[in-house]
Amino acid sequence: MPENLELFNLKGQKVLSISLGSLNQGMNSLELRTSELPNGVYFYKLNGSTKTGKILKIK
C-alpha dist (Å) from residue 12 to 5, 23, 34, 41: 15, 26, 17, 11
Q: Does residue 44 register a pLDDT over 80?
A: yes
Average pLDDT, the chain: 86
Residues 2 and 22: beta-carbon distance below 8 Å: yes
Question: pLDDT digit string (tens) for 25-34?
Answer: 888 788 888 8
DSSP 6-56: EEE-TTS-EEEEEEEEPPPSS--------TTSPSEEEEEEEETSS-EEEEE
